[in-house]
Amino acid sequence: MSSDRPHRDRAALERYLRALYQCAPTAAWVEVRVRRATRMQQSFHPAGKLDVVAGTILARSAVSDVFVGVVPRARRSGGRTDLIADWNVVWADCDDAGSVLALERLRPAPSMVVASSDEHRHAYWFLGEPLALERIESINRRLAAALGADRRSADAARILRPVGALNRKHSPPASVRLLALEEHRRYSLAELESDLPRQFSTPLRVSGRARQEALLADPLRRIPPRVYVERLTNERVDSFGKIHCPFHQDRTASLHVYSDPERGWTCFGCRTQGGRPLGGDIYTLASLLWRIPPRGSDFLTLRTRLDRVFGVRRV
């Protein structure tokens, strides 16, 4: 580690904190939460003393996972009713490669982007005027729908990893980095909502059977993986159900093609966030090959192109 690394980490963390809480009331509190074995430990620090908040984060992150509340608190307490009533930041937690790719194409661009791993982004949009928390959550859900991001993170009481912390889901732990920040990039509500879906009808949780039936109702999802993998990659699947992966230098065929459409394909030479092998269905493969996000309005473009390739006609 270079000798100036701690100074650079602290400088980036302080920029992040100033940007996130620049409009916090002087009497507000910043929540810092630390993972202790099987429980979380909360502490609260004055929003007017962000240097103290930064010091606490860096000290605690040396030994544990650390998070901060995106919305400040009106009181030094951890209940939802203790949050300030209005806030001027909305956010999205992009937790897979597809949603990260969608984020790169979404407009308007976020005011701040934080990477908590190679394939995990937290995006923040700063607003010109504060909104009630219920409206903040509504916009967060619409952002999540547009990006295919984590909808659970839409909650106003959400905590996220701050810059300068370590993400211990990875081995070795991944540094949480500030990728982009435009402190003065603030949006009106009309600017932010212009390209977002107006509704989000997909439920957060559905039963396994209901999800299976819904997926197989799509004719593209019923195509055998061998058929769509060969068509999309222009490579023959061998007798062992494998091809050379198009996403990395693959000397020995490591992408396995299953017979069951629900299992799809998996490349054991590629890894996603969390260390899992890369894989998915026909949409995942086409999205990666064609660089079209499988989320939001881009999903319709992706599906239309697949329909043409496989001669699917929809009524």
Give the 3-state DSSP-derived string for 94-120, with helices as H, strands as E and coil as C. Answer: ECCHHHHHHHHHCCCCCCEEEEEECCE
CA angle 260, 263, 256 (to 5 degrees): 90
User: What does the pLDDT look like over 108-153, one tens digit per residue?
Assistant: 999 999 999 877 899 999 999 999 999 999 999 989 888 888 888 9
Tell me: do 176 and 260 sit in the same domain.
Answer: no
- Per the model's pLDDT, the better-predicted residue between 217 and 244 turns out to be 244
Kindly tell me if the per-residue pLDDT of 48 is higher than 50: yes
Tell me: do 239 and 183 sit in the same domain.
Answer: no
Contact 269, 256 (CB under 8 A): no
Lowest average pLDDT, out of 118-122, 166-170, 244-248, 293-297, goes to 293-297
Tell me: do 245 and 291 sit in the same domain.
Answer: yes
Flag whether 242 is in a domain. yes
Flag whether 23 is in a domain. yes
Q: What is the pTM of this model?
A: 0.64
Per-residue pLDDT, averaged over 63-78, amounts to 94
How far is Cα 178 from Cα 175, in angstroms, rounded to an integer?
10
Q: Domain containing 163: what range? A: 5-193
Tell me: do 108 and 173 sit in the same domain.
Answer: yes
Split at pLDDT 50, 70, 90, the class of 86 is: very high
Give me the long-range contacts of 258-263 (CB less than 8 A, separation at least 24): 258/225, 259/224, 259/225, 259/226, 260/225, 261/216, 261/221, 261/222, 261/223, 261/224, 261/225, 262/212, 262/215, 262/216, 263/225
Backbone angles phi, psi at 281, to 5 degrees: -115, -165
Tell me: do 185 and 231 sit in the same domain.
Answer: no
Kindly report the CATH number assigned to the domain that includes residue 38. Answer: 3.30.70.1790
Kindly report the CATH number assigned to the domain that includes residue 292. Answer: 3.90.580
User: What does the pLDDT look like over 224-272, one tens digit per residue?
Assistant: 999 999 999 999 999 999 999 999 888 889 999 998 887 899 998 887 6
Split at pLDDT 50, 70, 90, the class of 202 is: very low
Flag whether 275 is in a domain. yes
- How many CB atoms neighbour CB 75 within 10 A? 14
Lowest average pLDDT, out of 56-60, 63-67, 212-216, 284-288, goes to 212-216
Tell me: do 174 and 275 sit in the same domain.
Answer: no
Contact 229, 263 (CB under 8 A): no
Please report the pLDDT score of residue 293 as a whole number. Answer: 84
Please report the pLDDT score of residue 198 as a whole number. Answer: 55
Split at pLDDT 50, 70, 90, the class of 297 is: low
Kindly tell me if the per-residue pLDDT of 193 is higher than 90: no
Boundary (domain end) residue, out of 137, 161, 193: 193
Tell me: do 23 and 130 sit in the same domain.
Answer: yes
Tell me: do 168 and 270 sit in the same domain.
Answer: no
Please report the pLDDT score of residue 174 as a whole number. Answer: 86
How far is Cα 148 from Cα 92, in angstroms, rounded to an integer?
10
Tell me: do 146 and 50 sit in the same domain.
Answer: yes
Mean pLDDT of the chain: 86
Number of domains, the chain: 2
How do 174-175 and 166-167 pair as beta strands?
antiparallel
Boundary (domain end) residue, out of 193, 217, 233: 193
